[in-house]
Chains A and B, each alone.
Chain A
Amino acid sequence: MGFSFDSVAALPSIGGLATESATVAFIQPSTALQLLAFAVLLGGIYGLVALGLTMIFGVMDVINFAHGAMMVVGMYTVWWTATAFGLHPILSIPLAVLGLFAIGVLVHLTTISSIMDAPQENQLIVTFGIMLILISAIEITFSTDPQSLGLGLGSVAIAGVFLPLGQLYALLISISAVVVVWLFLQRTQLGRAIRGTADDRTAAQYVGINVPRIDYLTFGIGAALAGLAGAVIPLFQQINPYLGDSYLINAFVIVVLGGLGSFPGALLGGLIVGFVHVFGQYFLPGSGYQISIFLIFILVLLLKPEGLLGGGVSE
């Protein structure tokens, strides 16, 4: 009875431990369920991180290297307003979203808009520069020391599976954000204009859509989603100015894996990467899980280059 992962456990492990010890030869159902819960929690957050990235790419064809840095600004907004002004972290999250929306619009108007028609490497360099500026500003303002809200929210146990409340709240916020953004794109005039622009920028201009306005709003919404993704992280983790990088690397994988510009793809990709991440960490030594994530990424690029749900924001 129960899940046997004997063949997986026979993989080379830490210094030959797997072959010397029977401790990893069998995984209990409770452990498998626990890991599954962690995979869903992590995958949901990854999906949220990838959402803003895929939206900006889907509509504007811009790869935003500053996405991770914008997450960090979201993290520090929540931490700072909570510690300096005593504002409840959950109430600080909308502030981070609004602040990042404003930063996104400002960044677009002052830098990206003038190079929208330039070769794509120009946008890469500019967003890379913005990343450096944002991270340096955080370093100078708050130092490089790790910071924490020290919430200690604890966990709930359901059928022997522990669900850390910090991650659970983060997941619920992620799901809510996805629903809100999806409804916005599907049900509002502006959302339809964004989808129209994502479909065909030239045609959108011909039918009277103000594409430059759509661009800065899209960049603002993408930045706001980055801010939201960052804002939920202090609920369960210490933060530092470089934490965005850890999430961003996998977010790029998710965006390509799910399909460039695809919202459902970002969520599906997030869950897949979350699953590989958590189970890979359990069964593989060292950074083997990260190698597995990149192997899947390469396989998808070779077998289905448009991604699992390739399409676009317009879908």
Chain B
Amino acid sequence: MRRTTSQSDRRSFIKYVGAAGTLGLAGCVGQDPSDDDGDGSSVVIGSNHPLSGSLGGTGTRMDNAVQLAAMMKNDNGGIESLDGAELEVISEDNQGNQELGGEVTDSLIDDGADVITGCFSSPVTNAATRAAERAGVPFVISVSVDDAILQDNDLQYAYRPQPPASQMAVDHAELMPQVIRDAGRDVQTAGLYYINIDFGQSVRDSLREELPNQDIEIVEEVSIDFGETADTAVTQLADADPDVVIATTYEAETVELVRAMDNQDYAPPFIAGCANEALNDVGALEEMGETVEGALPTNFALNPTLDRASEVRERYESEFDESFDANVAMTYAATEVIIAGIEEAGSSDPEDINDALSEIEVSDHIAAMPPISFDENGENENALAPLFQVQDLDDRVVFPEEYAETEIDL
């Protein structure tokens, strides 16, 4: 009797486990985007971002931004021109490694991506956009600053809504001195502090060209590598004594700069940032404290004058329990461009989406810039990096006036 019960229990167990396993497998198969039969019931966006590695934190937030943009579009009825077709996002990890940029793009395309976005690190994006070009799949850059990605390559399938390095430098060189001089103060010399990789070097090169046009002489340039302290760099900057120190680095290196400034009792008249992550991150600003109060960074930004932008920010923070920074804002805006392209194409065919993107003008986006449209290189003709000021350890857009949420305080 006991034996029978035991056998019965075992059979039941095996039966339920088998059923659960089968259902699980069926679920997995059902979610495979490569099984899309092409009837237009869904359109697949491939997200190629660093989900691990030293850029993994920011990359994951950017990937979440892609997911959120698709989620919100689906919540609002999906792609109208495709009878409510849903957006599906597949994500893969490029680890911030250049050699994985193309490989991940190929893999996403194999898995059914109709359009791709990424990659944060410029060398990775360079490789990824070339792979997409070879496959004839449109690629909308989420965040990557290096001019060369689009301007040194003749790409027909790549688009960049954000301002590239040269535009960031143009905007910074114009806006930052203008507000300082309008406030009755002066700025004649600058010291550049940059991360010694593609990103920092490309912005540095552009600042070298643009700052002299605004009568600002560069009196010192210092670089920092990943994991370095900024002690020596600050000694160099203090010796050169510029009116403004312009930082182009990721968070850790800017925090290092400020720590070393505090330790050496060095305070330049102005601290600024061009494409600087830390000066647009509330957590980093709180860590850096009073030293960065009044700092003047330029970066792409969420449009603070839009109610819809605030809603996106709140939804993001509640959905992912993470802070919403400038990279997230720009990635969300890039995904809005992709969605607009799909709507305009009325098709999930990559060629149709590409044709639509090449002609598109997107007015309804959350970035603080005019309508997005692309030139022959795929660069946004109206890209803008507005000027912020750190006020009460928060990054507030102060210029141009149409995007300003508060007044400059110098």
Interface-facing stretch out of A14-22, A108-116, A177-185, A222-230: A14-22
B263 pairs with A144, CB closer than 8 A: no
Query: Is A150 positioned at the interface, with any CB of B under 8 Å from its CB?
Result: yes
Cβ 8 A contact of A164, one of B218, B232, B263: B263
A144 touches B57 (CB 8 A): yes
Q: Given A152-B262, A246-B225, 13 other A-B contacts at CB below 8 A?
A: A38-B235, A144-B54, A144-B56, A146-B252, A154-B262, A240-B54, A242-B226, A246-B226, A246-B228, A278-B232, A282-B236, A285-B221, A287-B223
Instruction: Compute how far the CA of A238 lies from the CA of B254 in the bound complex, rounded to whole angstroms.
Output: 11
Q: A21-B219, A28-B239, A242-B226 are in contact. Are A236 and B259 (CB under 8 A)?
A: yes
Query: Which residues of B are found within 8 Å of A14, using beta-carbon distances?
Result: 221
Q: In the complex the two chains form, what is the Cα distance from A27 to B370 in whole Å?
A: 48
A157 to B218: give the CA distance in the assembly, Å: 29
B219 and A287 contacting across the interface, CB-CB below 8 Å: no
Contacts of A145 in B (CB 8 A): 57
Residues on A facing B (Cβ under 8 Å)? 14-15, 17, 21, 23-24, 28, 31, 34-35, 38, 42, 139, 143-146, 148, 150, 152, 154-155, 157, 162, 164, 167, 236-238, 240-243, 245-247, 278, 281-282, 285-287, 290
CB distance from A250 to the nearest CB of B (A): 10
In whole angstroms, what is the CA distance A28 to B226 when docked?
Answer: 28
Please state if B262 and A139 are interface contacts (CB–CB under 8 Å): no
Residues on the B chain within 8 Å of A236, using CB: 229, 259
Nearest A residue to B251 via CB reads A146
On chain B, the residues within 8 Å of A146 by CB distance are: 57, 251-252, 255
Measured CB to CB, the closest approach of chain B to A87, in angstroms, equals 20
CB distance from B102 to the nearest CB of A (A): 23
| Size bracket of the B interface | 35 or more
A17 and B264: CB pair below 8 A? Answer: no
List CB contacts (< 8 Å) of B196-254 with chain A. 196, 208, 218-221, 223, 225-229, 231-233, 235-236, 239-240, 251-252
CB distance from B131 to the nearest CB of A (A): 25
A167 to chain B, nearest CB (A): 8
Looking at the assembled complex, report how far the CB atom of B71 sits from the nearest CB atom of chain A, in whole angstroms. 22
A286 in contact with B252 given A143-B57, A154-B262 (CB within 8 Å): no
Q: How far is the CB of B252 from chain A (nearest CB, A)?
A: 5
By a CB distance below 8 angstroms, the chain A residues around B53 are 144, 242
> In whole angstroms, what is the CA distance A236 to B258 when docked?
12
CB pair A242 B231 closer than 8 Å:
no
**5 tightest CB-CB pairs across the interface, nearest first?**
A246-B227, A144-B56, A145-B57, A155-B263, A281-B232
For residue B352, CB closer than 8 A to chain A, the reply is no
Residue among A144, A154, A243, A290 with max Cβ neighbours from chain B (10 Å): A144
- Which residue of chain B lies nearest to A281 when distances are taken between CB atoms in the complex? B232
Decide if B218 touches A243 in the complex (CB within 8 Å): no
Closest to A246 in B: B227
Contact A162–B256 (Cβ < 8 Å): no
A290 CA to B224 CA, complexed, in Å: 12
In Å, the complex CA distance between A164 and B232 comes to: 12
- For B240, the chain A residues whose CB sits under 8 A away are 23
Contact of B252 among A139, A150, A162, A240 (CB under 8 A): A240
What's the least CB distance linking B39 to chain A, in Å?
A: 39
Residues from chain A with a CB closer than 8 A to the CB of B54 are 144, 240-242
B229 touches A237 (CB 8 A): yes
Smallest beta-carbon distance B51→chain A, Å: 9
